[in-house]
Amino acid sequence: MEDDNRRVYCATFDAEQYWRDPMLAKLPFIPDRNAQRIVSVMDELMFLFCQPGDAILTRKPFNPVQKQYLQSIGFDFESNVFDLDPRSELDKCIFQLLCESDNKLQVSPFLEGQSILAPFAVLPYAAQVCESYNLQCFSPGNEIVQNVNSKLYSHQMKDRLDIRNVGVIVHSSEELHSEGQKLLSAGDFLIKDLFGVSGKGNLLVQSSQTLDRMVSYITSQEQKGKYTQFVLEPLLHKKDDFSCQFYISAQGETTFIAVSKLLNDGFAYTESSTPDESFMQFLEAGNYFILMERLAKELFKDGYYGHVCVDSMILEDGEMVPLIEINARKSMSLIKHQVDQYLQQYELRGNLSFLSVSSERPDFSYEQLLNTLHDEGLLYSPANRKGVLPLSASTLEINKSTMKAAKGRLYYSIVSPEAEEKKRLNEQLRSCFSMHSYRIYN
């Protein structure tokens, strides 16, 4: 990219909450601290971007068993042994933790002045971190990043690119009711939070009763001084979800990186995989990449450069919807691409998925899990050319305590040259978890 200096990768994966105006009315949601803790340690996934000499800075010390395994299969990166979040301040992004750290005697030498800060997403406090720790940062300002990540921006971009736009913006509970009734007369519709992500921030309305409850809920927030802005869209009957990853340089040059097919559970991400050649030809014939090039130019015109992930879909009737929303940051599909970059040297490809589980055995450690996978011939290594490649450890362990039913998540890639064998390996992985007193939720 812009420089060959040492890079320090870091992440706060629920970036959207830090771009969101606290005075903006919200859709109803149930806070889940267990899930929030899991998301907070997804930053371990950033090791996939590291080249030899680079480092990954995580909220919690990088799991040493996981690091040893990753080094054994060829990954080479530095990681912190200190705890950046000893008080579990989950509402603070990693940049705020760095700014307020009581442990700068350890943090400063690890960051090494003049290293390049390479975040998952640009968030508040990023500029202060670069200044405080003498880091280089090749990214636009937070206000620009916040603007282009709003669903309002994605909605307006459809008009700028002459894409069919079925959505409408509402600015009050009254407009929500009137526009919602119009949409409901034709079928189900979605209320979209301007900064909702991965299953949070999209609400499906299928009846007048649901709409009335939402109007009442938003009205009560307006009465407390909040302001309203939502995108309403008819529910589209989709056949395929997919995304396109590209990079805009500081000079405005666009580099296409990958396309990923997505498997979603409702509105939440569950898996990324590589599309076949016929799918790519379909996109090419529909001028999809020409449109993405135009989109990149518009983003750069508005001051943004860096990684972009565009969510798209194909409807049941074959119509392509090229722009659902713009994610001006790294993405899970880009992480999947990084897995492929690693596997390419062995002429292999994987997917990116996760198991959402709870453990009935807090004494069953991550090291025991890796040993079990190894003993059963399931653990990936370059020598066996297939298997389960675990990508995160802390997401599985973070909620473990003496209590039972600790929720966790294992991110992994299934590696095999054969599609049928990938299915078999996935089934064996699930059986392995079940045998060791894990309950699987997805």
Query: Pick from 284, 278, 283, 319: which is nearest to 163 by CA?
Result: 319
Residue 283 has pLDDT above 90, yes or no: yes
Question: pLDDT grade, residue 417 (50/70/90)?
Answer: confident
Mean pLDDT of 162-180: 97
Residue 268 has pLDDT above 80, yes or no: no
Mean pLDDT of 43-71: 97
The helix/strand count (H/E) of the chain reads as 16, 17
* pLDDT per residue as tens digits for the range 218-255: 999 999 999 999 999 999 999 999 999 999 999 999 99
Q: Where would I find the beta strands (DSSP E) of 266-366?
A: 268-273, 306-315, 320-327, 352-359
Q: In the chain, what percentage of residues exceed pLDDT 90?
A: 83
> Could you tell me the residue ranges of all domains in the chain?
7-139, 167-234, 237-333, 347-440
Residue 121 backbone dihedrals phi, psi, to 5 degrees: -150, 150
C-alpha dihedral sign at 90, 101, 46, 394: negative
Residue 86 has pLDDT above 50, yes or no: yes
Question: pLDDT grade, residue 121 (50/70/90)?
Answer: very high
| Total length of the chain | 442
Residue 373 has pLDDT above 90, yes or no: yes
227 CB-near residues (< 8 Å, 6+ apart): 23, 24, 25, 171
Question: Can you tell me whether residue 411 is helix, strand or coil?
Answer: strand
Contact 244, 49 (CB under 8 A): no
Question: pLDDT grade, residue 1 (50/70/90)?
Answer: very low
- Distance (Å, whole) CA 155 – CA 165: 7
The answer as to CATH 3.30.470.20 being correct for domain 237-333 is yes
pTM over 0.85: yes
Mean residue pLDDT of the chain comes to 93
* pLDDT per residue as tens digits for the range 70-81: 999 999 999 999
pLDDT of residue 301: 98
Helical residues (DSSP H) of 55-169, grouped into ranges: 64-72, 94-99, 104-111, 126-133, 142-149, 151-160
Mean pLDDT of 160-169: 96
**CATH domain 167-234 topology:** Dna Ligase; domain 1 (3.30.1490)
Radius of gyration over alpha carbons of the chain, in Å? 22
- Distance (Å, whole) CA 344 – CA 335: 14
Mean pLDDT of 308-327: 96
What's at 126, amino acid-wise? A
Q: Where would I find the beta strands (DSSP E) of 266-305?
A: 268-273
The residue behind tokens 């090419």 is 284
Q: Which CATH architecture has domain 347-440?
A: 2-Layer Sandwich (3.30)
